[in-house]
Amino acid sequence: MKFLKSKSYRDFSKGTWASVAPTLAPENSVSLGLNIDSDVILGALLERKGSTIVTGQLVDGYPVRGLHNHRTNLGTDKLFAVVSDGTNADIYDVVAGTKSLEDDTKDLDTNFLTYLNSTLRLNGTDIAKAFNGTTWVTTGGAFDLANLPTGSKYAIEFKDQVLVAGRTDYPDRVDKSSIANSVTKTVSWTAGTGLGYIIPEQEDGGGRITGLAKVPGYAMFFKRRTLKRWDGSSTFPEDLVNQGSPSQKCIVMCKGMVFWINENDAWASSGGDPKGIGSFMVREIIKSITAANLLNVSGGTDEEHIFWSIPSCTISGETYTNIVLKYNIFQNTWDVRKYATLPRCFCKTLDTSNEVYVTYGDDDGNVLTLDVGTTDNGTSITYSIETQDLEFGQRMFLKEINRLGVLTENVSKGSLMWRNTHRVEDWKSIGTIQNEVEDFNIKIKGNFFQFKITETTDSGQAKFLGLEFPEGITVLENSK
């Protein structure tokens, strides 16, 4: 019997960890001794913190269609949430749990912009309104509401001008206000410096404008299939690698960059060519999203991570719902998470101590704080960790495992399963993990193996530390 060493390495081309063993052949049932570290995990809906409701449920059974923190240098602080009730849409003061603005058109995604100590509300259908710190107004105010282009859906401030877009009558046009008056703290759509509009290369085949963003030096105009930029005086005709955005909701501005998702990948740009930032696993998830669900992807940030919620995706024959992709900006790493309800919109919020935290509105009328507690608003968290295909050498040869050690922390009733195919129905139970070091006597065979741990818990984060094979892996003749 031979004993062969193995090694593990980081496969940066896929963005995942891979385990590599020496080439094995069925020579005298060669045995391979191997410790597998938890870094070989490919798959996983990983452990996470919970979410806690900010106030009572706003409207049972209806999704939150917009979320915004109105925070100004005058000291006014409000958290607004837009929820339809089946008849109309209302804007709630979330902390107070009361309606702030009533009877907008139902089921419309709503966008906000806080500038000049006021918050503009746009949904593309109802007349533009703004909260001035005391009440909602429909004329005048900081945004010259009576003259703001009708039907606008999206708004940003760039170099002291308000830019709006999303009109059905001019789908590829960006209107721009005057430069803000430093005395009156207002902009105008009828007089002043800077008035006009921009049409960024209208015959580029990119479709209508789907969102606006900005980075230092540029305003960014997203279409469905292309991305344009404007520096305040001229637009640039080139397409930025023809990578657009399906909606305003999935565009996130953070750290002087803009991040978004489309059907090809997750992207980041500081004004130049976008960089694809998705790992192999993340790209597989993104490519599995249907066109309808892609329109419902929503993004948010806590200034360290980017979050994107996905209604559902199907990987290796298994369908997952209420998924959140979490990207670490500084480490260029990803987590994949699953929640009890679907986050429909995110909002970066400051508490009274100026600490940043993330809130999200879900598909059931709740506004919750992300990564707080050990449950999702009282619902225990179910996690699942899956390994990649473990081949232990050449995939063509049959292998046998007779003993398996599983190393964990804070797992008391985890189910351990295995399979040697990619069919959902072929997951088989090995046993229950009840101790930090669990020893299973098994007899399983396959050309490759996948292992899976799943548990429902409300006792905090679980940790998967690794797998051990104290008796090695036996390579057999290629027979069943």
Q: What structural domains does the chain harbor?
A: 3-47+384-475 (2.60.120), 51-380 (2.130.10.10)
The pTM score is: 0.85
**Residue indicated by tokens 């990619």:** 422
Q: Say if CB 467 and CB 405 are below 8 A apart.
A: yes
Q: What is the pLDDT of residue 25?
A: 38
In 3D space, the residue among 370, 380, 369 whose CA is nearest the CA of residue 460 turns out to be: 380
CA 307 – CA 78 distance, rounded (Å): 22
CA 297 – CA 289 distance, rounded (Å): 9
Of the pLDDT bands very low, low, confident and very high (cuts 50, 70, 90), residue 83 is very high
The residue among 236 and 446 whose pLDDT is bigger is: 446
Q: What is the pLDDT of residue 206?
A: 85
pLDDT at 350 over 50: yes
Lookup: tokens for 292: 């309808």
Write the single-letter amino acid at 384: S
- Across the beta sheet with 227-230, what order do the strands follow? 209-215, 218-223, 227-230
Of the pLDDT bands very low, low, confident and very high (cuts 50, 70, 90), residue 22 is very low
**What's the sign of the alpha-carbon dihedral 129, 130, 135, 140?**
negative
Q: Indicate the average pLDDT of the chain.
A: 86
Buried residues in 58-69 as b, exposed as e (16+ CB within 10 A): bbeebbbbbbbb
- To the nearest 10°, the Cα dihedral for 250, 251, 256, 257? 80
Reported as a single tens digit per residue, the pLDDT across 213-269 is 999 999 999 999 999 999 988 777 665 568 999 999 999 999 999 999 999 999 999
pLDDT at 64 over 60: yes
CA distances (Å), origin 122, targets 125, 375, 456: 8, 34, 41
Of the pLDDT bands very low, low, confident and very high (cuts 50, 70, 90), residue 186 is very high
Phi and psi at residue 66, to the nearest 5°: -170, 145
How far from chain centre, in Å, is Cα 253?
A: 13
Three-state SS for the chain is: CCEECCEEEEECCCCEEEEECCCCCCCCCCEEEEEEEHHHECCCECCCCCEEECCCCCCCCCCEEEEEEEECCCCCEEEEEEEECCCCEEEEECCCCEEEEEEECCCCCCEEEEECCEEEEECCCCCCEEECCCCEECCCCCCCHHHCCCCCCEEEEECCEEEEECCCCCCCCEEECCCCECCCCECCCCCCCCCEEECCCCCCCCCCEEEEEEECCEEEEEECCCEEEECCCCECCCCCCCCCCCCCCCCEEECCEEEEECCCCEEEECCCCCEECCCHHHHHHHHCCCHHHHCCCEEEECCCEEEEEEEEEEECCEEEEEEEEEEECCCCEEEEEECCCCEEEEEEEECCCCCEEEEEEECCCCEEEECCCCEECCEEEEEEEEECCECCCCCCCCEEEEEEEEEEECCCCEEEEEECCCCHHHCEEEEEECCCEEEEEEEEEECCEEEEEEEEECCCCCEEEEEEEEEEEEECCCCC
Phi and psi at residue 231, to the nearest 5°: -100, 10
Portion of the chain with pLDDT greater than 70, in percent: 88
In 3D space, the residue among 154, 168, 240 whose CA is nearest the CA of residue 200 turns out to be: 240
pLDDT at 1 over 80: no
CA 247 – CA 211 distance, rounded (Å): 6
CA 301 – CA 359 distance, rounded (Å): 10
Q: What is the pLDDT of residue 14?
A: 29
CA 480 – CA 116 distance, rounded (Å): 73
Per-residue pLDDT, averaged over 178-186, amounts to 96
| Three-point CA angle 191, 197, 200, nearest 5° | 165
pLDDT at 147 over 70: yes
